[in-house]
Amino acid sequence: MKPTQISMIAALVALLLFSAVLANRSIASKSSTERTVKGDGFAVLELFTSEGCSSCPPADELLAKIQKEAGNRPVYVLTYHVDYWDRLGWKDSFSNSDYSKRQYQYASKLRAQVYTPQLVVNGKTEFVGSNEAATDYAINSALKGTPTTSLNLQGKIQSGKMALDYQIKGNEDQSELVIAVVQKQAISKVKRGENEGRTLAHAQIVRQLNSFNLETVEKGKVNISIPEDFNSKGWEVIGLLQHPKTRAISAAAKVAF
């Protein structure tokens, strides 16, 4: 092979390598942009999970990552530990039958199966909770929306109770006010079941769920009990406006103390 031919081949290889680098940078940039997309909407991510489920830890990790990267965006992460895995070798200390009931309500309205890890976004769509591409797409779509309702919540803690003042603006009809008391982080060592021997990190664990039929639509007050170890740094309270029949969520907000 002549030197000129070798030089041409080398130049072609270098050009191909350079193009590949640019393509990878473009993909990375796109992913970063997708995570920081701006809009007027909001995204409520409700993950149904269990410590007894071996396919759930990747979904828990993804939701923890999303929560960490959310910043000031209106992205609300809630993880519900269902109780139907408890009879299969390991009782999840965070499990609650109320969360299983909520999942079954979603499955009925969305015509979906009940499984873990299952992620529901804004009460309108569901998919496997460890699917990062689907999760990113759902978040971006929700954030680009134009809500017709807004919710504001103010809270005051007194003797193991919390008084919540709510204010609703916009087009709202027959919605329930759902209040979730959320523990931001926890670590569990699983001794039996599918995750035997694993140490699991949890994020945004729903520890208590309350639902209220609103007596007055525009503003009012409700009261909830809170766990003894509740504090404003390690916990948070998230409110949702949800239609009791369609299960669609029309507004969401964190409680300001």
CA dist 172 and 144 (Å) reads 20
Give me the pLDDT at residue 48, please.
98
Cα four-point dihedral sign 66, 133, 105, 212: positive
Structure tokens at 149: 């309702």
> What integer pLDDT is reported at residue 209 of this predicted model?
97
pLDDT of residue 20: 46
Are 32 and 19 a contacting pair, CB within 8 Å?
no
Q: Where does 96-145 show beta strands of DSSP type E?
A: 118-121, 125-128
DSSP state of 30: H
Note the pLDDT of residue 12.
46
Q: Block means of pLDDT (10 residues each) for the chain, length 257 residues?
A: 46 45 43 52 98 98 96 96 96 97 98 98 98 98 94 92 94 85 97 96 97 84 93 94 94 92
DSSP letters for 34-79:
HHT---S--EEEEEEE-TT-TTSHHHHHHHHHHHHH-TTSSEEEEE
pLDDT of residue 220: 92
Output the pTM of the full model.
0.84
Q: So what's the pLDDT on residue 3? A: 43
What the chain holds in terms of domains, given with CATH numbers, is 39-254 (3.40.30.10)
- Of 60, 62, 35, nearest in space to 188 by CA: 60
Q: Which two tokens stand for residue 142?
A: 């929700």
Q: Can you read off the two tokens belonging to residue 163? A: 């008084």
Q: Which residues of 129-147 are buried (b: 16+ CB within 10 A; e: fewer)?
A: bbbeebbbebbbbbbeeeb
